[in-house]
């Protein structure tokens, strides 16, 4: 019960612009306050410092002697459904999409005439479902990042 409360409090600390800064850090791995300010087009450099310090308090970033912030990758909230590889934050459903499309194509190429089109059509159902889920995950993560922009207008 206590872990759930701590996790919920933690996730509430990483919302809006703070989440956007964390996503940016996941992509670049290491950055400065000035780079965050410019890359995310923030209204002031202090805002970048504030959100980086918030991430520092939550132990999602470390600050080295040169002042660079380095990300500590961690899965929480919606990020549980994503894989971080280099500069890419990819929904796990993307990998299922590739698998289902490969299966569908193998059915099309290996089954006898007549059956291949029918089975290919059936095997496209989970592929299409995975494509839709992948788009929804990307949309959810971009909505969390752009909610801040809507609130400030």
- Phi and psi (nearest 5°) for 41? 50, 55
Are the C-beta atoms of 36 and 42 separated by less than 8 Å?
A: yes
Q: Residue holding tokens 């310090």?
A: 53
Mind giving me the DSSP string for 106-134?
HHHHHSPTTHHHHHHHHHHHHHHHHHHHH
* Angstrom distance (rounded) from CA 150 to CA 78: 20
Given this model, what pLDDT does residue 150 score? 41
Other residues' Cβ atoms within 10 Å of the Cβ of residue 151 = 9
- Phi and psi (nearest 5°) for 70? -115, 135
Given this model, what pLDDT does residue 141 score? 81
| Alpha-carbon dihedral 37, 43, 48, 51, rounded to 10 degrees | -140
Given this model, what pLDDT does residue 129 score? 93
Q: What is the pTM of this model?
A: 0.73
Q: What is the pLDDT along the chain (153 residues), one digit of tens a residue?
A: 456 666 666 777 788 888 899 999 998 989 999 999 999 999 988 999 999 999 999 889 999 989 899 998 888 888 888 888 877 888 999 999 999 999 888 888 887 887 777 888 888 899 999 999 999 988 888 765 554 444 443
């Amino acid at each position: 019960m206590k872990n759930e409360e701590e996790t919920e409090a933690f996730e509430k600390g990483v919302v809006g612009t703070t989440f956007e800064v964390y996503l940016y850090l996941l992509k670049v791995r290491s950055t400065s306050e000035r780079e965050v300010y410019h890359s995310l087009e923030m209204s002031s450099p202090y805002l970048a410092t504030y959100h980086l310090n918030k991430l520092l308090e939550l132990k999602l970033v470390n600050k080295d002697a040169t002042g660079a912030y380095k990300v500590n990758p961690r899965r929480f909230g919606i990020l549980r459904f994503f894989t971080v590889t280099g500069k890419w934050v990819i929904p796990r459903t993307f990998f299922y999409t590739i698998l289902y499309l490969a299966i569908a194509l193998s059915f099309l190429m290996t089954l006898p005439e007549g059956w291949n089109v029918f089975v290919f059509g059936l095997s496209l159902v989970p592929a299409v479902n995975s494509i839709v889920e992948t788009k929804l995950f990307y949309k959810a993560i971009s909505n969390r990042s752009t909610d801040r922009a809507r609130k400030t207008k």
